[in-house]
Amino acid sequence: MEAVYLDHAATTPMVPEAVAALTEQLTRTGNASSLHGAGRAARRVVEESRERIAAALGAHPGEVVFTSGGTEADNLALKGLFWRARAADPRRTRVLASAVEHHAVLDPAQWLADHEGAQVEWLPVDERGRLRLDALADCLAQDPASVALVTVMAANNEVGTVQPVREVVALAHEHGIPVHVDAVQAAGHLGVDFAGWGVDALTVTAHKLGGPYGVGALLLRRELDATALLHGGGQERDVRSGTLDPPAIAAFAAALGVAEARRTAETARLEALRSRLVEQVARLVPDVRVNGDPDPAGRLPHIAHLSFPGCEGDSLLMLLDARQIACSTGSACSAGVPQASHVLLAMGRDEAEARSSLRFSLGHTSTEADVDRVLAEIGPAVERARAAGALSARRAVR
């Protein structure tokens, strides 16, 4: 029985083009900050990759700041922009963030509140997981001079709902407030356009695109400064110090190039697979609830987030894993933590429903056969999970 991998939203296998770019550069030596020939060759790899990444994301090459991945880029954006704003005007201590952000945004925002005197306001979402623009407008109108930044993800990593980024930018920029967007899950699936969206900072990472782990970028508008988290050689605009990784950066650029070149065709293919998966699961488990936006235009094409009443999501996940089907209960960064999904709770679901969900996320290796395997196994797995849940409930009553 072959393994089925349906957790591409956590990480996706490297594409051959990225593997080739990585391995080619791994045999070469040179620090991109060195002035000799080997250093200049490494620098050329970095800068050519920077140009390719910028072009794919609608940015200027000088706006691409390489990081170790999405978490570092999010931390740099939130902390760096907050510190910059507060230094310019001590009144600017408010941070506005949607309640469904990834923990790479939620946790640094909370850290700023706990350690730096930030006032973090969690903006509500509707039942589909989309930011309520009226709530954002109200928060901004209260005291715009006190807001340091607004942060909102381009698309949710759990339920796939696309956020109204352009509208958020328009509201915030009326008051001269910078906007950060976490586009980690969206890049390669949506047409990310840094300049067109008008955002001030944007996070991407390679391993969600078919590139390697450990490399990402913060796109930071040229006119905008951010206080550095890491101090040292000042390699990336004095915003991010550290020796650059030419092999990983080259692979990042290759993966993003492949994702963008294939995006239109791949979106249609993944949407068709997702639709079949959701429709047939609903036939097999009639009381299943599909989370997120039902309109394909309002969601990512590769994520199907389903709630199974009477099941514990963790139990269902392990039952499927025993049948060599890999999926997720939500964000991989909070996997194993026994708590309900903060995304579903923010969408108005109760705790039992928020704990009963699975995320199936498709990617470039996904096939019709993968969907068939899920459909063959999901019914029995749900029955066993419900039976286990009922037994536990009876024991608890005793």
- Are 159 and 281 found together in one domain? no
Instruction: Kindly state the average pLDDT of the residues 225-231.
Output: 94
- Are 295 and 150 found together in one domain? no
- Are 168 and 271 found together in one domain? no
- Examine the residue annotation and report whether 139 is marked as an active-site residue of this protein: no
Q: Residues 139, 311, 327, 333: which is the catalytic one?
A: 333
- Are 324 and 246 found together in one domain? no
Helix (H, G, I), strand (E, B) or coil at 323: coil
pLDDT of 333 over the 50 cut? no
Predicted confidence (pLDDT) per residue in 47-101, tens digit: 999 999 999 999 999 999 999 999 999 999 999 999 999 999 999 999 999 999 9
Catalogue the E-assigned strands of the chain: 4-5, 64-67, 94-98, 119-123, 147-153, 179-182, 201-205, 216-220, 289-291, 303-307, 325-326, 357-361
Predicted confidence (pLDDT) per residue in 291-331, tens digit: 999 999 999 999 999 999 999 999 999 999 999 999 998 64
- Residue ending a domain, among 257, 291, 315, is 257
Q: What is the mean pLDDT of the chain?
A: 95
Q: Rounded to whole angstroms, how far apart are CA atoms 3 and 217?
A: 32
- Residue ending a domain, among 198, 231, 257, is 257
- Are 176 and 285 found together in one domain? no
- Are 85 and 200 found together in one domain? yes
Q: Taking CA 259 as the corner, what is the angle to CA 257 and CA 265, rounded to the nearest 5 degrees?
A: 125
Tokens read off for 22? 């990585």
- Are 251 and 289 found together in one domain? no
- Are 277 and 224 found together in one domain? no
Tokens read off for 263? 């995006």
Instruction: Kindly state the average pLDDT of the residues 382-391.
Output: 83
Instruction: Kindly state the average pLDDT of the residues 238-267.
Output: 97
Helix (H, G, I), strand (E, B) or coil at 236: strand
- Are 247 and 115 found together in one domain? yes
Q: Rounded to whole angstroms, how far apart are CA atoms 285 and 115?
A: 47
- Are 148 and 99 found together in one domain? yes
Q: 319: domain CATH number?
A: 3.90.1150.10
Amino acid at the residue 255: A
- Are 46 and 94 found together in one domain? yes
- Residue ending a domain, among 257, 292, 310, is 257
Q: 240: domain CATH number?
A: 3.40.640.10
Kindly provide the b/e burial profile for residues 279-302, where b requires at least 16 CB atoms within 10 angstroms of the residue's own CB.
eebeeebeebbebbbeeeebbbbb
CA distances in angstroms from 19 to 45, 49, 198, listed in the order given: 15, 15, 33
- Are 153 and 107 found together in one domain? yes
CA distances in angstroms from 381 to 138, 318, 324, listed in the order given: 45, 9, 12
Per the structure, the complete domain to which residue 127 belongs is given by 16-257
Number of structural domains the chain divides into: 2
